[in-house]
């Protein structure tokens, strides 16, 4: 198991890691790309910034553009397919689709020291806005409120 994923104690930690990664903007936010380079500037989405937050470092220009090179930064404990599944889960989260987020996490649930909760436990009536490249900063507070709810529920 990868040490970085062991630190996550619930889905509230995953949501919080996404929030912190976006706020730090480890790589310039472009919600349409998991990783690209333009004029020597790295761009990536919420998932990319979440991975950077987990690692506490940014991807380099040569590491960001493919799942294989992003995976190599983790130094074992996770497969390339697991990394892609985790990135997909975070992408569904930033799209406001909690059920798909949870379903994708189930695919990599063995990476965590907690059980993935059932959808009904996670406030299925919560309406999270899509985080887009041009409005994610204005809408991130909805995800902070959702994280806080998850914490109060022990999730």
Integer CA distances (angstroms), 150 to 2, 16, 56, 119, 124, in order: 24, 10, 24, 12, 12
Q: Residue 49 and residue 137: Cα distance in Å, rounded?
A: 14
Quote the pTM value: 0.94
For residue 151, what are the contacts with CB-CB under 8 A and spacing of at least 6? 12
Tally of structural domains, the chain? 1
Give the mean pLDDT of 137-142: 97
Is residue 7 very low, low, confident or very high in pLDDT (cuts 50, 70, 90)?
Answer: confident
SS3 114: coil
pLDDT computed for residue 68 by the predictor: 81
User: pLDDT for 16-71, tens place per residue?
Assistant: 999 999 999 999 999 999 989 999 999 999 999 999 999 999 998 888 888 888 88
- Identify the domain containing residue 83 by its residue range: 3-152
Residue 102: other Cβ atoms inside 10 A? 21
Which single residue is written with the structure tokens 């919420």? 46
Q: Residue 103 and residue 136: Cα distance in Å, rounded?
A: 23
Q: Residue 123 and residue 108: Cα distance in Å, rounded?
A: 22
Q: Is the pLDDT of residue 145 over 80?
A: yes
pLDDT computed for residue 71 by the predictor: 80
Q: Residue 89 and residue 97: Cα distance in Å, rounded?
A: 9
């Amino acid at each position: 198991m990868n040490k970085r994923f062991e630190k996550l104690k619930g889905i509230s930690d995953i949501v919080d890691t996404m929030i912190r990664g976006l706020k730090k903007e480890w790589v310039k936010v472009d919600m349409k790309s998991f990783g690209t380079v333009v004029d020597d500037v790295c761009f990536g989405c919420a998932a990319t910034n979440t991975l950077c937050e987990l690692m506490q470092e940014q991807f380099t220009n040569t590491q960001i553009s493919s799942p294989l090179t992003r995976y190599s930064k983790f130094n074992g404990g996770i497969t390339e397919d697991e990394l892609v599944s985790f990135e997909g889960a975070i992408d569904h989260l930033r799209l406001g689709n909690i059920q798909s987020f949870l379903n994708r996490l189930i695919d990599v649930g063995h990476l965590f020291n907690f059980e993935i909760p059932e959808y009904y436990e996670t406030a299925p009536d919560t309406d999270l806005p899509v985080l887009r490249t041009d409005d994610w900063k204005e809408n991130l507070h909805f995800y902070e409120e959702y994280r806080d709810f998850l914490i109060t529920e022990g999730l």
